[in-house]
Amino acid sequence: MRIDHYIEHFSECFERQINLLPWEITADIRAILEDIILQLDDNYVINDFIAIHKSAVVENAVVLKAPVIVGQGCFIGANAYLRGGVYLGKGSKIGTGCEVKSSLIFDSTNVAHFNFIGDSIIGCNVNFEAGSITANHYNERSDKNILVVYQSEIIESGVGKFGALVGDHSKIGANAVLSPGTILDKYSVVKRLELIDQVDKFLTDK
């Protein structure tokens, strides 16, 4: 599974991670971002592994827990909460009251209002309408190992938390839910109020 198939500029930003699986990246995201922060230039204001580009706008009452990289021209709305290792690519927007945890969000993506993005990798020009979320944990199952459907097979990730890999230019409708382990191709469209559960669908279809 090559992330560049889903996110065009992934390898340009994360060259050392091109051969890793998405859940391997989110599981090690703190160390990955800390290493990148040490290499950033003076266009960023850096304090205790929180790096904010000088052109970014961070509104009042935003909570940033290191490591965090906020890229050029980003906007973070009031009362947003970023924790566990977060990367925001150029021109991305995190709206009021959103929570982002252990995730990479690439250029020009909008996470609009009251969303949760957890342990996920989100491509460029993706739009999450209000209330849509990436679920990152099997709350309802005794076996917490995240399963992923890829090329008509089920893969055991070996991790207990992984949300989604969302390809470039995808649209996620209001109050939609991406179940743990969701993989969406470029230009995917998820309807409002839709539940995406690829593992259950795969098992049912079999």
Residue ranges and CATH numbers for the domains of the chain are 3-205 (2.160.10.10)
Q: Which residues of the chain have pLDDT under 70?
A: none
- What is the predicted pLDDT for the residue at 198? 97
Whole-number Å distance between alpha carbons of 4 and 95: 27
Whole-number Å distance between alpha carbons of 78 and 63: 9
- What is the predicted pLDDT for the residue at 154? 96
Whole-number Å distance between alpha carbons of 100 and 114: 10
Choose, from 5, 9, 113, 169, the residue flagged as catalytic.
Answer: 113
CB under 8 Å, gap of 24 or more: what pairs does 17-25 form?
21/157, 22/121, 22/162, 22/165, 22/183, 23/119, 23/146, 23/148, 23/157, 23/158, 23/159, 23/162, 25/104, 25/121
Catalytic annotation present for 113: yes
pLDDT tens-digit profile of 15-68? 999 999 999 999 999 999 999 999 999 999 999 999 999 999 999 999 999 999
